[in-house]
Structure 1
Amino acid sequence: MTSQTPRSLGVLNLERGLPLDRTPALLPGSMLNPATFDFPIILETVPGAWADIVIPGDAALEPACVAAARRLVERGAVAITSDCGFFIRHQASVAAAVNVPVAMSSLLLLPTLLRLLPLAAKLAVLTADSRHCGKDLLGLNDSVEQARIVIGGIEGGSYLPQAMKRPLPPPDVSAIETDVVACIERLRAAHPEIAAILFECTAFPLVAPSIRRITQLPIYDITSLCRLLIASFR
């Protein structure tokens, strides 16, 4: 018999400087918006996890990530993710600390997505800041697979400086779309073999529908992975 109990996804949240019920981040497609998914979400803020710390990385955040993940499990989460792809640095520690599936970043999809594409095709990884998204975060040891990954960032645009502020302001969807489109155009001009796109940044799902229409390419992001996580319990 199939359980009728809703399965909740736990989300490790960035510091924002405002209570969640007072932040306008709850836009369609946002990881923090319950309407984004057809299953419940539970949120836990990681103390000290401001975007300007998480993006370049800080090992000192690891205990706080583990503690927040454990709180999510205690509150009923059957799987755990995060609302910043750069939390991937803490994937191993969090997964070892709890007894539920953990997917801290959409970057975990990379090995599978490469296998979905022809060998001659390339996969573009769109990140908030390519200066901090190196090969060490991709989880790929094979040099042939690494060569099929093209990384592009929006650090030259207007959105990233907004996302690094304290408190975190409302996401500027227009700025995100402008920056993402410009980045994709640069990448495709240099690499016409790009056949699919993976969004690392958890703000990018806000513009995923429009980017799919513009590029006519398959777009994958953290919400794709979250739905896969919860579907395994249904």
Structure 2
Amino acid sequence: MKVQGGKAIYGASVGILMLEARFPRIPGDMGNAASWDFPVHYKIVRGASPDRVVRRNAEGLLPDFIAAAQELVADGVDGITTNCGFLSIFQHDIAKAVGVPVATSSLMQTAMVNALLPPGKRAGILTISASTLTPAHLEAAGVPPGTPIGTTEGGREFTRAILGNELELDVAAAEADNVEAARQLVSDNPDIGALVLECTNMGPYAQAIRETTGLPVFSIPNFVSWFQAGLAPKRYG
């Protein structure tokens, strides 16, 4: 048997562009390698703080994200994703620059989730920062206009700790923020039939949200696992 070379790294099809952050990343968080059932390859984009990306529209960072994505592809990954849903605004530019499949944001699942639901039902989005999630972010991810959006802003722990890049996280309080925000979103919009979690740090709380709302919950682990399955299909037989 002969095999083909040309890469520096093998066995990690997915490359993840990471913000530069120090807050705790627990299992289920995209930045915790134990969250994945397959190898991934991480690349930190220096200077891309949570505050700068989420609250300041990732200003001035596009060249840095493109360069980091190109390095991941040169290393050997087959597809690129990122660890912030707000990076949907870079979807087109990164994809154009690297020439491999790119999935910048969990928000990209929204239209697909809508297609799964019965008539009269639609997906709702839960975000870490509704005040800075703009129509441009949503349009770049293909989110239908008028999609209901809820947020953990104003909660006790989650948004403050993550966007403030704090060194300590009260997990129970962060979960409570996510659950309460999801409950309120569904209460305000009875036609919601599923939830899409924008923030890649919300993965650890997906099950609690599901149990509370009774609705399917789609997070970044769902999306990237689907993405990876296309990049490296399972061999049968």
Scaled by the length of structure 2, the TM-score of the pair is 0.86
Instruction: Output the CA distance in 2 between the equivalents of 1:163 and 1:142.
Output: 25
Shift of 1:174: 1.6
Q: Deviations over 1:11-51 (max 9, x none)?
A: 1111125xxxxx742x2212122222221111111121101
Give the aligned partner of residue 34 of structure 2.
35
Aligned pairs, how many? 223
Instruction: Output the CA distance in 2 between the equivalents of 1:141 and 1:101.
Output: 14
Give the aligned partner of residue 18 of structure 2.
13
One-letter code of the match for 1:52? D
Q: Is the 8 A contact 1:70 1:98 kept in 2?
A: yes
Give the aligned partner of residue 190 of structure 1.
188
- Cα gap change, 1:107 to 1:141, in 2 (>3 Å): closer
One-letter code of the match for 1:78? D
Instruction: Output the CA distance in 2 between the equivalents of 1:142 and 1:98.
Output: 20
Instruction: Output the CA distance in 2 between the equivalents of 1:110 and 1:28.
Output: 24
Q: Deviations over 1:67-116 (max 9, x none)?
A: 11111112221111111111111111111111221101011112211111
One-letter code of the match for 1:10? G
Give 3-state SS (helix, strand or coil) of 2:102's partner.
Answer: coil
Shift of 1:165: 2.5
Identity, in percent, stands at 34
Give the aligned partner of residue 222 of structure 2.
224
What is the correspondence of 1:159-178 to structure 2 with a 5 Å cutoff?
159-166=158-165, 168-178=166-176
Uncovered stretches (5+) of structure 1, i.e. residues with no partner = 18-22
Instruction: Output the CA distance in 1 between the equivalents of 2:98 and 2:140.
Output: 24
Give 3-state SS (helix, strand or coil) of 2:46's partner.
Answer: coil
Work out whether 1:100 is the aligned partner of 2:105.
no
Instruction: Output the CA distance in 1 between the equivalents of 2:32 and 2:163.
Output: 21
Give 3-state SS (helix, strand or coil) of 2:193's partner.
Answer: strand
The runs of 4+ residues in structure 1 deviating greater than 4 Å are 140-143
